[in-house]
Structure 1
Amino acid sequence: MRLKRYMSILVVGLFLLVISGCSPKIINVQPSIVIEGYDEPMIGFATIGDGTTGGAKGEVVVVKDYKEFFNAVYHSDDTPRIVLVDGTITYTISYYLEDPKYVNTINIASNKTIIGLGNGATIDGISLRIGRQGDPESNIIIRNITFDNAPDDNISIWWGSHHIWIDHCTFRRAVDSNVDITRQGNYVTLSWNIFEKFAGEGSKGVSIVGGSDTLPEDADYLRVTYHHNWFNGTAGRNPRMRYGIVHIFNNYYTDVQLGPNGTCAVRALVEHNYFERVLTPTQISTPPGFIVLSKEDPENGDTNVYVDSGTPTRNLPTYDQLTDGVNYDFRDRANEWLNISNWIPYSYTPDLAASVPQIVQEKAGAGKIIVNYSK
């Protein structure tokens, strides 16, 4: 009887709303975003802790020009938001002349997913910066975008910014690098991207982890994963690494002079990659970094494949190197760092190195995932 009475009250209430010209509001209805194609799960350092969720559960905004993009992602707004880029976002000086805040370098706010609609979108003539001095950003996902003509780096991650996932993008021309992680940037994964030298121009290189030899305090940060990326004819910085922990696996290197380069006590596990026509697959610079080529057999093992390439260089850390008082004085960390099995704290299953060229060419880059959206 009580249930019937409540139902009667509800029906009457709805009737009164209708006849008074009002209607009940439907809330929390989420639009549908469906990703098809080679949509691979996030793995690597971006998954550590609470992981990287970007703008999940936030509003969905479709942007088609520079001003719409700027207003959706600018650093002063940390509201969770999924920003769907439709077509090409191009910068011209006319935006600055309209309002000086509209510059060709945009500081991205926390809690954002930026993803290209359809088979991908393009950001042209714009640098994305994640973090400013004293103002780190976090929890950002960037997918299915082609970057070109950046006035500085295509993407900079710095000043303590953390939990960033950059996936299925294509990187072309930039004045400096494609993606740099410096100034205590942390917990970053770069996966299924193509870094290419475009029309004989290219950038200075792909990626720097750690921006200076004089910042040993960065050693507790700069955790970065590179997997299933294609370094195709790039100039250098593939990557150049300092101080952090870097995991490089299942990447495809073609026609480059130098692969991963380690200095300044970086701990880098370089495994199950495919190097084709690479003069120097790995290199140790001074002051020395540490590169191992097999997690299971750090001293003698090598899980990579080399075709028409030079000989890789490895360097295992020793207690004396880490505490020599000249290059390093990491006495409080040395014993932990010597245990290479502790370097990589997440689970993963690498593909066989021999299969990497086929897998990466088939699946990497913008347009290899298809993003469909309906309200």
Structure 2
Amino acid sequence: MRQTVAMRLCAALAIMALAIAGGVYMATPKASAATGGVTGYATQNGGTTGGAGGQTVRATTGTAIHAALCSRASSSTPIIIEVEGTINHGNTSKVSGGSCNTADDKIELKQISNVTLVGVGRGALFDQLGIHVREANNIIIQNVTVRNVKKSGSPTSNGGDAIGMEMDVRNVWVDHVTLEASGGESEGYDGLFDLKNNTRYVTLSYSILRNSGRGGLVGSSESDLSNGFITYHHNLYENIDSRVPLLRGGIAHVYNNSFVNIRMSGINSRAGARARVDNNHFKDSKDVLGTFYTSAAGYWQVSGNTFDNVTWSSRSGDNNPAGPNPQSNTSVNIPYSYSLDRADCVPNIVRQTAGANKGLQVSDGACSPQTPAPTDPPPGPTPPSGNNLSIGAGSDGSSKASGTSYGDVRDGDMNSYWSPNGSTGSISIKWGSATTVSRINIREAAGSVGTIGSWRVINHDTGAVLTSGSGAGVITFPQTSLRKITFEIISASGTPRVAEYETYAG
């Protein structure tokens, strides 16, 4: 048991080892993701809250995202991962741990629960790297762009899906994302948003899907009928050949979406699927609703849709378009509340609100955009402010590795560092007279070969333990007047590198 805990602590501190390298840092000053309210079928089956109530971390690499997942106490410990910058193959590696199951070639949300992945700041771009959700539940993916994910050619990722879910997935909300490719299957791309093998209670909202051969599917084959309860609303589907979406079995609610230049076929309900299609706007497209490429019929309930310059093929063989005058052939009861925008204003409201980096705006149900109230949990400790009391102070420690110095932790230089002679040891900041301290910040150096696990902060004057925990970063404790404060590393993976040991009065 002790070994397992130590492994998890080491994984937790992998986050902080990446901090100085631009990977990830913890305890952001405020929760900057205004997630608003989850909508659609993701509200059912107990609802979807993602990482609400958990720790908030910031990641700027794919490895850091994986490290954040692997740092948790368990695979279900809530966490909000704020992502900023470009995530690609070059900065995404597998991270191991008891609370995760990750891979090199994709962002892997596998065998986990209670996670929010949200783009912040200047935006989050997953470049040629897909997001894979597998055997997972209660997941939120918000405000990110995923582009040019390939299943053939180079580099490949996630089977060619921008976002793919499969194998016993429950309660996922994907919101304000942009998913795009640069061609179809012949160019190496697959689906933008695919759900397979027992995936249920999913909402895709206020998102852009464009420039692809395939928009997405529910069910990988005519025998994969275990999926369903999917909501698609206020999305823009643009310049796509087909599958917007393809539905095999199950129930889908498709409302207030804007479809532009759908070239071959649109909402493809087949193999017993039942779709409720309300107040959508279809423009400059072909065969936007029906059962296509199969004799296994699907069904639809339609109302309030607008068809602007839509052409329809004749019914023949395996192609059965619903138009030119679509009529309902089933009835679908919706168990949640929702507001419908008029179809005529859908293109405008979707253009204003859908996609990443749009301020997470939503429609008010009357064709006007609004910014939802934040629903994130209270943030953790804020980064320290004021003067770093370590500058100009003294320092010593229990041991130092060759080529490192105690003074390197108080020189303001992230390129120099102290390491113990081994994986454990202590480092102290000291003053000539009593100094009040209530907060420290342990910053690990870029490229650290080891990461800090468990630690204690000690009032060296009295020997009293001020606080204990695991992981580098900001550490708070009651205000204490002392002449020397010691940070003692109890466990670590490899030899840690402490670049800065900052101390603050408040």
| TM-score when normalising by structure 2 | 0.55
Residue 362 (1) aligns with residue 367 (2): no
Who is 1:333 aligned against? none
Residue 242 of structure 1 deviates from its aligned partner by 0.7
Higher mean C-alpha displacement, 156-165 vs 174-183: 174-183
Who is 2:172 aligned against? 164
Who is 2:245 aligned against? 239
Distance in 1 of aligned mates of 2:66 and 2:92: 14
Conserved in 2, the CA contact under 8 Å of 1:263 and 1:288? Answer: yes
1:126-275 alignment, distance < 5 Å: 126-131=129-134, 136-150=135-149, 151=157, 152-173=160-181, 175-197=189-211, 202=212, 204-216=213-225, 218=226, 221-257=227-263, 258-275=265-282
- Of 339, 345, 349, which aligns to 1:349? 339
Change (3 A) 1:290 1:102: closer
Amino acid at match of 2:289: T
Distance in 1 of aligned mates of 2:196 and 2:335: 21
Name the SS for the 2:240 alignment partner.
coil
Distance in 2 of aligned mates of 1:30 and 1:52: 23
Who is 1:70 aligned against? 66
Distance in 2 of aligned mates of 1:94 and 1:145: 16
The count of corresponding residues between Structure 1 and Structure 2 is 300
Structure richer in strand, relative to its length: 2
* Segments ≥4 residues shifted beyond 4 Å: 93-96, 314-317, 370-374
Distance in 2 of aligned mates of 1:95 and 1:215: 31
Higher mean C-alpha displacement, 73-82 vs 182-191: 73-82
Conserved in 1, the CA contact under 8 Å of 2:302 and 2:327? Answer: no
Indicate the RMSD between aligned Cα atoms, in angstroms: 2.7
Give the percent of matched residue pairs that are identical in Structure 1 and Structure 2: 31
Structure richer in helix, relative to its length: 1
Change (3 A) 1:293 1:223: same
Amino acid at match of 1:85: V
1:46-57 alignment, distance < 5 Å: 46-57=42-53
Distance in 2 of aligned mates of 1:93 and 1:54: 25
1:30-49 alignment, distance < 5 Å: 31-35=29-33, 41-49=37-45
Residue 362 of structure 1 deviates from its aligned partner by 0.6
Q: Which segments of 5 or more consecutive residues in structure 2 lack a partner in the other structure? A: 1-26, 95-101, 150-156, 182-187, 313-320, 361-373, 383-506
- Of 89, 92, 116, which aligns to 2:90? 92
Conserved in 1, the CA contact under 8 Å of 2:86 and 2:126? Answer: yes
Change (3 A) 1:358 1:168: same
Amino acid at match of 2:137: S
Residue 315 of structure 1 deviates from its aligned partner by 6.9
After superposition, the C-alpha distances for 1:114-147 in whole angstroms (9 at most, x for unaligned) are 000125211112222211xxxx210000001000
| TM-score when normalising by structure 1 | 0.74
Residue 346 of structure 1 deviates from its aligned partner by 0.9
Name the SS for the 2:243 alignment partner.
coil
Residue 175 of structure 1 deviates from its aligned partner by 2.3
Q: Which segments of 5 or more consecutive residues in structure 1 lack a partner in the other structure? A: 1-28, 295-302, 318-337
Amino acid at match of 2:246: R
Residue 92 of structure 1 deviates from its aligned partner by 2.6
